[in-house]
Amino acid sequence: MATLTLEYDGRSTKAKKAIEYILSLGIFKKKEEKAYNPDFVKMVLDADKEESFEIKDVDAFMKSLC
Alpha-carbon gap, residue 43 to 32, rounded angstroms: 23
Backbone phi, then psi, for 51, in 5-degree steps? -70, 140
Work out the pLDDT band at 17, boundaries 50, 70, 90: very high
- Summarised one tens digit per residue, pLDDT across range 19-57 is 999 999 999 988 877 778 888 888 888 887 877 778 888
Alpha-carbon gap, residue 24 to 18, rounded angstroms: 10
Q: Where are the alpha helices (DSSP H) in 1-66?
A: 13-24, 38-49, 58-65
Report the 10 Å Cβ neighbour count for 58.
Answer: 8
